[in-house]
């Protein structure tokens, strides 16, 4: 009905809703995939504290007990210089010759429990371990963990800001299509009032129109996001798509934007009729 | 049934449209509202109809007060009234029967009851043969009959008519007036604003005359005293 009366504005409202959710969707996808990556990497997050040469065994073993009792810590393991050498050889393969026995120091390797692997917690645990006199240096792969976290935050934020901006524009555009629709039906509306139609009854077709446009915009956004995801999957790297819960949530968000846009507008303009 | 008690109505730019208006209309009465243009006739009708609220004083319709009524109860009260305007206010793109059915549809009538009701109303206003015509295919008098049928759709206790014959020739005017008399005879009160003095003189109905927003004459005041209305004059 609205599409016949104001096709350009109607199309515009549907597409702005679609773009709003598309922005949400794209950046959401980036955040989602980084999050997945992080979860995998987080399994490997490990703090390695190097022990000063010549530290007595009693001191290290009591430290091991202390560290094991930290609430964040899942496992603690003492790695002797010999074991370190074996591990280094295994990890470095052909360059293994460069290592001579005795070069590598002993270390305390600490794994953290799930949920305690974010950069801040890792750094705080590392800091506590560093407090021992006989600990020389602590490494915990801080750069890449922090970098990934930062990218995820930026992606989430960029998606939210862009999406919200588009959503705002969508609400305004829907508002003006509703305004036109109300004015086009001013006579009908005034007669409805005269014969005793309730405001809810008068309002409902406009609200339904808003919800329909919003849902259409949401479906379009889902389609765009899916297409973008497939393209990335084909040419860049394989990325995972939202599960059904998020996809439905996205379309519902479109319906909500449509409903809000028309609800704000119809209340205001009905008063002028 | 309709009672105005010391009603004042002030509009932002134009000032006082009504000052200290008090009167009462009983069940089944027929009342003419007359007076020069700008006297406040339409304003009185709008207050009855709750399209406007008084600035001061109280308008009571069917026991419901303009002072205490909540906005969402207004539609319910309106269903007890029918309104007819000088310019008919029909929907041009709908047939006669659709125009009448409209009033029933938007007030939530049973769909199965709408058809028979529309036929009955069309018969009542003498347009049974024009059910599928469009408004522009009808004469002015016929269009006003459609508007009257629509106003009667929800079985109002009062019909409010703002210069219903203002756009009609003399013959059509007589026809519409006779229709209103018939409707009144079946128990519906009618308040009709008009400046057709010829019509008023011949009809011998109660007449309230307005000027500059005040009642200057009420024929009912001469016959019987209304305790709550126009006390200073009686
Ligand atoms: N909505 C309005 N806003 C401002 N002034 C109004 C409005 N409606 C009526 N008036 C003023 O109130 C006075 C009475 O108008 P009205 O009741 O329409 O007179 P009548 O119907 O007797 O010709 C006029 O002076 C008119 O200008
Ligand atoms: Mg008038």
The pLDDT of residue A182 is: 83
- Say which ligand is closest to the CA of B38: 1
User: Cβ A194–B108 below 8 Å, yes or no?
Assistant: no
The pLDDT of residue A41 is: 67
* Model pTM score: 0.72
**Chain B residues touching A201 at Cβ < 8 A:** 106, 108
SS3 B207: strand
* Domain range for A85: 46-139
Domains in chain A, number:
2
SS3 B17: strand
Asked whether residue A144 is assigned to any structural domain, the reply reads no
A33 shares its domain with A158? yes
The residue among B131 and A110 whose pLDDT is bigger is B131
Which of A21, A1, A7, A5 shows the shortest CA–CA distance to A258? Answer: A21
A155 shares its domain with A63? no
Going by C-beta distance under 8 Å and a sequence separation of 6 or more, which residues neighbour residue B48?
Answer: B2, B59, B61, B81, B158, B160, B191
A156 shares its domain with A262? yes
Q: Shortest Cα distance from B206 to chain A (angstroms)? A: 26
Mean pLDDT within A92-111: 70
A194 shares its domain with A174? yes
Asked whether residue A131 is assigned to any structural domain, the reply reads yes
Pocket of ligand 1 (CB under 6 A): B 11, 13-14, 17, 35, 37-43
Rounded Cα gap, residues A158 and A147, in angstroms: 16
DSSP string, A47-70: EEEEEPTT--HHHHHHHHHHHHTS
Asked whether residue A213 is assigned to any structural domain, the reply reads yes
Residue % of chain A over a pLDDT of 90:
11
**Chain A residues touching B77 at Cβ < 8 A:** 196
Mean pLDDT within A157-181: 81
A160 shares its domain with A248? yes
A6 shares its domain with A35? yes
A244 shares its domain with A161? yes
The pLDDT of residue B90 is: 95
A87 shares its domain with A23? no
DSSP string, A102-119: TSSPPEEEEEEPTT--SH
The pLDDT of residue B231 is: 42
A158 shares its domain with A259? yes
- The CATH number for A83's domain is 3.30.70.3040
Q: What is the pLDDT of residues A15-36, one digit of tens each?
A: 888 888 888 788 878 777 777 7
The token pair at B77 is: 């009260």
A7 shares its domain with A115? no
Rounded Cα gap, residues A189 and B227, in angstroms: 40
ipTM of predicted assembly, 2 dp: 0.84
The residue among B152 and A271 whose pLDDT is bigger is B152
Show the low-confidence residues of chain B (pLDDT under 70): 222-234
A41 with A145: CB under 8 angstroms? yes
A194 shares its domain with A219? yes
Rounded Cα gap, residues A52 and B208, in angstroms: 110
The pLDDT of residue B229 is: 46
The pLDDT of residue A94 is: 59
* Chain mean position to CA B77: 14
A165 shares its domain with A256? yes
Select from A120, A139, A158 the last residue of a domain: A139
The pLDDT of residue B224 is: 47
Around ion ligand 2, residues with a beta carbon closer than 5 Å are B 42
């Amino acid at each position: 009905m609205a599409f016949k009366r104001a096709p350009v504005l109607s199309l515009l409202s549907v597409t702005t809703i679609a773009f709003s959710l598309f922005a949400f969707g794209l950046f959401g996808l980036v955040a989602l995939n980084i999050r997945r990556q992080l979860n995998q990497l987080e399994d490997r997050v490990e703090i390695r504290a190097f022990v000063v040469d010549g530290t007595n065994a009693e001191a290290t073993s009591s430290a091991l007990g202390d560290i094991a009792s930290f609430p964040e810590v899942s496992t603690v393991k003492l790695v002797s210089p010999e074991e370190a050498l074996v591990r280094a050889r295994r990890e470095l393969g052909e360059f293994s010759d460069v290592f001579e026995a005795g070069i590598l120091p002993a270390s305390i390797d600490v794994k953290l429990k799930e949920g305690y692997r974010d950069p801040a917690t890792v750094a705080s645990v590392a800091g506590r371990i560093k407090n021992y006199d006989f600990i020389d240096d602590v490494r915990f792969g801080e750069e890449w963990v922090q970098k990934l976290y930062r990218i995820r935050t930026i992606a989430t934020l960029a998606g939210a800001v862009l999406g919200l901006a588009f959503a705002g524009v969508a609400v305004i555009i829907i508002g003006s299509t509703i305004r036109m629709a109300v004015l086009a039906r001013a006579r009908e509306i005034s007669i409805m009032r005269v014969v005793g139609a309730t405001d809810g009854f008068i309002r409902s077709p406009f609200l339904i129109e808003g919800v329909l446009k919003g849902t259409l915009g949401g479906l379009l956004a889902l389609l765009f996001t899916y297409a973008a995801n497939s393209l990335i999957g084909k040419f860049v790297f394989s990325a995972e798509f939202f599960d059904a819960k998020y996809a439905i949530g996205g379309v519902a968000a479109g319906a909500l934007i449509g409903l809000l846009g028309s609800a704000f507008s119809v209340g205001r303009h009905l008063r002028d009729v | 049934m309709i009672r105005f008690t010391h009603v004042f109505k002030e509009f932002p730019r134009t000032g006082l449209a009504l000052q200290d208006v008090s009167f009462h209309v009983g069940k089944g009465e027929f009342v003419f509202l007359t007076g020069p243009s700008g006297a406040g006739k339409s304003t009185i009708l709008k207050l009855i109809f709750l399209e406007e609220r008084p600035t001061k004083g109280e308008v009571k319709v069917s026991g419901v007060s303009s002072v205490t009524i909540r906005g969402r109860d207004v539609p319910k009260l309106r269903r007890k009234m029918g309104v007819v305007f000088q310019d008919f206010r029909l929907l041009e793109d709908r047939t006669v029967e659709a125009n009448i059915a409209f009033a029933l549809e938007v007030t939530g009538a049973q769909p199965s009851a709408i058809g028979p009701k529309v036929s009955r109303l069309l018969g009542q206003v003498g347009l049974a043969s024009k059910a599928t015509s469009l408004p522009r295919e009808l004469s002015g008098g016929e269009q006003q009959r459609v508007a009257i049928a629509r106003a009667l759709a929800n079985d109002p206790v009062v019909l409010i008519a703002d210069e219903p014959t203002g756009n009609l020739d003399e013959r059509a005017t007589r026809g519409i007036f006779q229709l209103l008399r018939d409707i009144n005879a079946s128990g519906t009160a009618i308040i009709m604003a008009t400046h057709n003095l010829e019509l008023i003189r011949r009809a011998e109905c109660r007449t309230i005359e307005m000027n500059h927003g005040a009642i200057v004459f009420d024929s009912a005041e001469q016959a019987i005293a209304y305790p709550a209305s126009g006390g200073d004059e009686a």
